[in-house]
Each structure stands twice: as C-alpha cells, then as structure tokens.
C-alpha cells in the first residue's frame, strides 16, 4: 500500500495552511497521489479541488458545444468536501481517496439528491434509498461523489444499431480529441470526463467492452475486474453473468487505488505497481484479435519492442481459437438476463409507472419524440421474448458461452503457449458519430475476457489517425495483480498518453 504516515502527521499543517489564503496550485492532470501530497502539505483543500473540477465542467462540459460527459453535478459535493477537510485537519486522512472527487456512471445507485437514470427519461425520478455497495465503500474511503456521468442510454442495450454516448437525459457525449468523433460506450461519459480533466477518476461499468472501448478511444486506463470482485448490487443491470463496475483513470496507479477502494476483498493491489513489472513475464500475442485496421496493427507491432526491452518474453500467434464461436450464445444470455435483472431492479424501485420491462417499452413509445429520435428499442423487444432463466435454452447458452470464452478460449491459449497473460490492440480509433448508420466498430479485444468474466486492463499505446488507441492486457480469473504489474511496467516505460487540447471547444465557446 502507499504510505500515508506523512499525510496523517501533516494534519496540523493543513489546518493552518487551509486558512492562510494560499493560492490554489496548478491542478491540471494531477494524480491521486500528487493531489494527496498537496493536501498533506497544506497547499490544497478538497473544497478547492471540487471547485476546480466544477469550473472545468462549466467551461468544457455544459452548453450546446460542451462535451456532455456529465448528467448532473452533486449539489452536496462542496459540503461533503468541507466536512472531509475538517476531518483531515482533526484526525488526518482516511486513506488515498480522502477528499478526492469521483464521478459515477449514471447507472449506479446513490442515496442522495441525484437520480439513477441509465440515461433514460423514464427513470428521471428514480431516487434510490441506499447507496450501491461500491458507492458506500467509496464514501467510507473519504471520496467525494462529484456527480453522475452520461452514458449510452441503458448501457447500450436498447437498440441495434445505435450510436454510443447518446442518452435522452444527457445528450451526445463528445470525444475530447476531435470534434465529431465518437467516445465509444457505454461508459463514454466516465471516460471523457477523466480524459478532459473534469475529474481525477471515475467509475464505469461493462458487460462487453463498455469500460475498455471508451477508455482506449479516449486515451485513458481502465481495469475491468474479475466478475464479482466488485458488488453488482445497486447497479442497473444487463447481465449478471458479465456485468461489472470498474475504475477509469489517467494512470494505472490511480485506477489501482480506485479498484482497491471498491472491491469486496482486502487484496493489496497497489503492491503490484512495480517499475519492472514486465521483467520475466511470458506474454502471448493474440493475432486473431487483430487484422481489422492496418495502422492499428502497425502501432501495436512497434510496441512489442518496448515490452521486450522491459524484460518480457513474447510468444507470437498465441490465438484464442474460439473467437467468434460464442457470440450467438452471449446474445441469448444477455437478452434473458436483462429481462430478469431489469424486472428485479424496477420491482424494488419506487417507480409505479415503469415497474417492469413491458412498461419501459410502452413508456419509450409515449416519449418517442425524445426517446426514440435516433434509434429504436429492438433489444428491449427481443428481451421480452427471451427464454426464462430456468429455460434450457438459456442455461445451455450460458454454459457454452462461458466455456468457449474461458476454459476453451483464454485458458486454453494461456496453457498452449505457456504464458502468463495475453495482449492485443484494444480497439480501433474513434469513428465519426452518425445516428443513421450507428457505431462503426471494426474489431476489439474485449469480448473473450468479458464473456469469461476475466480481468482486462487497457493502457494508452499511442495514436492512430490522430486519435488515441490502447493496448490490452488480459488473463485468467483473479489475475489482477499480474496484469497490474505488466500494465504499469508498460505504462512507465512508454508514457504514451497525451491530454486532449480541447481547443475546438474553447474556440467555439469564445465565439458564441
């Protein structure tokens, strides 16, 4: 773990400096550790930090030309920050997240003044009575819940085709690197807010690619953890056999700190942040998760030397032979589990007009001029007809998908090549948002780990067509420490992330 003795000892210093009227230091792109050092030395308060992010949100996220990455800012954020500042002065910090603002994807329950909407107008009055367990853990760690992030409505599980990053509640999330570029999804708002320095870290969720795709496309890091490492409770569901929340950050270290604060175990993931984390690792290169973008492949191939230079041993052509064989089964699983999961979630919510999936379908029709303007609700309608969780068609599909992605997929590749982990390009560069044709996915590395329920980390590996792309590290269940070592070692050796300039937003704002 990071050591916080110095921070605790500095409590008295903080209480004096916080009242001295010192100028707020440069906070742009600062990590959690750097922010904590400023706080411990009395250069910064949590209140000042919240105000810094609120000012950037007002400048870059709101208005017609804003990024639209945030649906709502917590009206109590400053009060919470003030209380945490007082606690720090009296007792010292609780740990590395004390006073650090965190943004949550707007499908995660918070027991406060912010509704949990999944981006849908039908849930605009959904005010949960309890925090999701992961939120309770973050609050206990001293985090300030800054607000709720925009997302692909219903976490991209309402229609196909659809355009990632759009919701009726929040509008279209914009990619901060290029005007008109898509942010991917469904955790697009969570990724964009971190990339644009509207918050230090955020929480997203994934069923299949909803953490890793937006992280890679927006030039940041995410850790999609092993299934059930983070509680699913209090998250608007798609599929219980694949859904997970995960941290999104600008660095592997920050993502790791956030992961530690959300998990249901006491594993010291921070001890895996080793400069020489690649030394001695045997890594399989998965070529059949490539081939859809030559420039992306060239960038990836060039990075292999960076891995070798840090002591990694690469085994090429370590393919996952079952890729493409479990898509149909996965789709059956998602439809069946969504129907059961959303009915269960709505049954306990205080929303009498939309208390099941059928009511959602009818509600969208009634609000068609606002909800169905860009795409429909085919997936909702398919889900209504999906097999029940007791039906053999569902049971067989779930067993087959898990086996093909896990035991006969990732596990078999690891064993056959005798490697510790696998790598591939995460996803191609961002496409232009187009509501008529929908998302232009070329390919990705996300599905095997998502369906198997295995961990997956993506780290920036450079730019293609002037847009960020990422490299994926994944392996078997509960291998987060191994993957963090490799991902951190790679990140520290390369430092490929470049912050977006946001010039196009600034220029637009200044001319209006």
DSSP string, 89-129: HHH--SSTTTT-EEEEETTB--SSS----TT-GGGTT---S
Ramachandran region, residue 457 (left: φ > 0; alpha: ψ -120 to 50; beta: rest): beta
Q: Which of 40, 45, 46, 105 is catalytic?
A: 105
* Set 45, 69, 187, 210: catalytic member: 210
Look up residue 235 and give its DSSP letter: B
Task: Determine whether 434 is exposed, middle or buried from the number of CB atoms within 10 Å of its CB (0-12, 13-18, 19+).
Answer: middle
Q: How far apart are CA 364 and CA 372, in angstroms?
A: 7
Structure tokens at 238: 């798609």
Distance CA 413, CA 30 (A): 38
Dist. CA 59–CA 74, nearest whole Å: 17
Instruction: Classify residue 326 by burial, with Cβ atoms within 10 Å: 0-12, 13-18, 19+.
Output: buried
Q: Are 408 and 466 within 8 A, CB to CB?
A: no
Catalytic residue among 186, 187, 231, 336: 186
Q: Kindly report whether the peptide bond that precedes residue 161 is cis, defined as omega within 30 degrees of 0.
A: yes
- The span from the CA of 246 to the CA of 226, in Å, is 10
The answer to whether residue 210 is catalytic is yes
To the query of whether residue 447 is one of the catalytic residues in this protein, the response is no
Give yes or no: 270 in active site. no
8 Å CB contact between 150 and 171? yes
- DSSP output for 68-82: --EEEE-TTHHHHHH
* Residues catalogued as catalytic: 105, 186, 210
């Amino acid at each position: 773990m990071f050591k916080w003795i110095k921070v605790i000892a500095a409590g008295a210093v903080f209480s004096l400096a916080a009242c001295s009227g010192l100028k707020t230091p440069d906070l742009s792109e600062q990590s959690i550790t750097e922010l904590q050092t400023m706080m411990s030395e009395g250069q910064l308060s949590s209140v000042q930090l919240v105000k810094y992010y609120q000012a950037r949100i007002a400048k870059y996220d709101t208005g017609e030309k804003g990024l639209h990455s945030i649906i709502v800012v917590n009206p109590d954020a400053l009060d919470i920050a003030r209380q945490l500042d007082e606690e720090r002065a009296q007792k010292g910090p609780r740990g590395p997240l004390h006073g650090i603002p965190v943004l949550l994807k707007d499908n995660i329950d918070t027991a406060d003044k912010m509704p949990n909407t999944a981006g849908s107008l039908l849930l605009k009055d959904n005010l949960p009575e309890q925090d999701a367990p992961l939120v309770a853990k973050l609050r206990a760690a001293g985090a300030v819940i800054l607000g709720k992030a925009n997302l692909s409505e219903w976490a991209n599980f309402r229609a196909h085709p659809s355009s990632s990053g759009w919701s009726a509640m929040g509008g279209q999330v914009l990619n901060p690197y290029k005007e008109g570029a898509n942010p991917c999804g469904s955790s697009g708002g969570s990724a964009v807010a971190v990339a644009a320095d509207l918050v230090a870290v955020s929480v997203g969720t994934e069923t299949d690619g909803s953490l890793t795709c937006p992280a890679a496309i927006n030039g940041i890091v995410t850790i999609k953890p092993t299934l059930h490492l983070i509680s699913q409770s209090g998250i608007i569901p798609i599929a219980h056999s694949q859904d997970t929340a995960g941290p999104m950050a600008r660095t592997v270290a920050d993502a790791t700190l956030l992961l530690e604060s959300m998990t249901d175990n006491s594993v010291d993931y921070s001890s895996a942040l080793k400069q020489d984390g690649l030394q001695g690792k045997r890594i399989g290169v998965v070529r059949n998760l490539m081939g859809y973008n030559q420039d992306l492949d060239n960038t990836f191939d060039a990075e292999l030397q960076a891995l070798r230079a840090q002591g990694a041993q690469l085994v090429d052509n370590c393919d996952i032979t079952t890729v493409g064989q479990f898509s149909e089964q996965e789709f059956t699983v998602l439809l069946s589990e969504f129907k059961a999961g959303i009915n269960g979630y709505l049954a306990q919510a205080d929303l009498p007009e939309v208390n099941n999936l059928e009511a959602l379908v009818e509600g969208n029709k009634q609000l068609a001029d606002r909800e169905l303007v860009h795409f429909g609700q085919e997936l909702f309608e398919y889900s209504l007809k999906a097999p029940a969780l007791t039906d053999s068609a569902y049971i067989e599909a779930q067993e087959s998908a898990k086996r093909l992605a896990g035991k006969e997929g990732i596990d078999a590749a690891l064993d056959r090549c005798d490697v510790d982990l696998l790598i591939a390009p995460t996803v191609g560069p961002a496409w232009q948002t187009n509501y008529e044709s929908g998302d232009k996915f070329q390919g990705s590395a996300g599905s095997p780990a998502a369906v198997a329920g295995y961990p997956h980390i993506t780290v920036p590996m450079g730019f293609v067509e002037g847009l960020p792309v990422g490299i994926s590290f994944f392996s078997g269940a509960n291998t987060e420490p191994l993957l963090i070592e490799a991902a951190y070692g790679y990140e520290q050796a390369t430092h490929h992330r470049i912050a977006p300039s946001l010039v196009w937003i600034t220029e637009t704002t200044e001319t209006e």
